[in-house]
Amino acid sequence: MAFASLSRDPGFGVYVHWPFCAAKCPYCDFNSHVRHQPVDQERFARAFSTELANMRARTGPREVTSVFLGGGTPSLMRPETVGAVLEAIAANWTIADSAEITIEANPSSVEAERFRGYRAAGVNRVSLGVQALNDQDLRFLGRLHNVEEALHAIGLAREIFPRLSFDLIYARPGQKPDAWAAELKQAIGYAVDHLSLYQLTIEEGTRFFQLYNAGKFEIPDGEHAAELYAITQDVTAAHGLPAYEISNHAKPGAESRHNLTYWRYGEYVGVGPGAHGRFLEDGTRIVTIAEKLPERWVELVERRGHGVVGGETLTRSEEADEFLLMGLRLVEGIDLARYEQLSGKSLSSARLSILQGEGLVAPIGNSRLRATPEGMIVLDAVVADLAR
């Protein structure tokens, strides 16, 4: 099915956060935790089930179009744990026959038996955290696998799952444009239908933040990074995986349905330590934020039925701003009528004219607006200008 003909209904998603990792990567600012004692997976599975039931009471009956098991390292879960979580989701909502069920996996934790167990439990898409296709950079990024293990995991995933994606990080120290182009072509050659390609960023609170500020390494400057970004767009498009979002590339029809729910400003519930959700409750969009510490989260769920410790009710203006920020990440852009419905007003024609004149946004017919490739690079500024 071609992307242009895919339904633009954002769908309804369920995000499940498994917070545990074998090691903390130095660039990672996600809610992930290393435990040196075995995790009580049965206890966490029961807690996921309890929190899912609590969320069902808040959302009412819905049809789930996607489930995403993220982390952390969800491939550290036993297949029985994954099966229990998916059964709990099915017990609370209707799961669409065409639902996309994704699990993130690290090559170092991949076993054929475990992959087949996930498939038997209902997982139909795997997203592999490969990150680089040379051992030197894998060591720099703190990954526990080498290239040989990554290729083994890719081969298993291609054999077992209908759909496969993997991640790569670029703009690594000393990375040359020709080397990145060659690595990209190599990645595409492994017959994936989806690639997530992220520029290395230095996030506060990470090990890389400390090392970078201490002058231990350098990353490409803005001009060099922009060149690597342009190569990313050119190579993927030339090989049949064009960008459909700033960092995501797919064969037509293989776009991540779960992530499209986010970017199209759909509804989703989030369960697990640190998980976020955004859904309509009594006609108003609310945000839920769960306790980050795994042990504290599971205790809260056992005591009161959920681990939510924060959140807010969004105003129309806040909804409209989020809709702009998420939707303009997509090549398909935004539906202007939906923006007006959310915000109660039209986008400023004067600001639109200026941004069009600068080559940062472009209309799609009379009903949609998109950011241009140049606008994607400075998207935060474009959105801030439009939302004023």
Burial class (CB in 10 A: 0-12, 13-18, 19+), 181: middle
How far is residue 245's CA from residue 233's CA, in Å, rounded to a whole number?
11
Burial of 39 (0-12, 13-18, 19+ CB in 10 A): middle
The residue type at 52: L
| pLDDT confidence of residue 139 | 96
Long-range contacts of 321-326 (CB under 8 A, 24+ apart): 321/383, 321/387, 322/265, 323/265, 324/383, 324/386, 324/387, 325/379, 325/380, 325/383, 326/262, 326/263, 326/264, 326/265
- What is the pLDDT, as a whole number, of residue 6? 45
pLDDT for 179 equals 96
The tens place of each residue's pLDDT in the chain, 388 residues long, gives: 233 334 578 999 999 999 999 999 999 989 999 999 999 999 999 999 999 999 999 999 999 999 999 999 999 999 999 999 999 999 999 999 999 999 999 998 777 789 999 999 999 999 999 999 999 999 999 999 999 999 999 999 999 999 999 999 999 999 999 999 999 999 999 978 999 999 999 999 999 999 999 999 999 998 999 999 999 999 999 999 999 999 999 999 999 999 999 999 999 999 999 999 999 999 999 999 999 999 999 999 999 999 999 999 999 999 999 999 999 999 999 999 999 999 999 999 999 999 999 999 999 998 999 999 999 989 999 999 998 7
Q: What is the pLDDT of residue 112?
A: 76
The reply to whether the predicted model has a pTM over 0.85 is yes
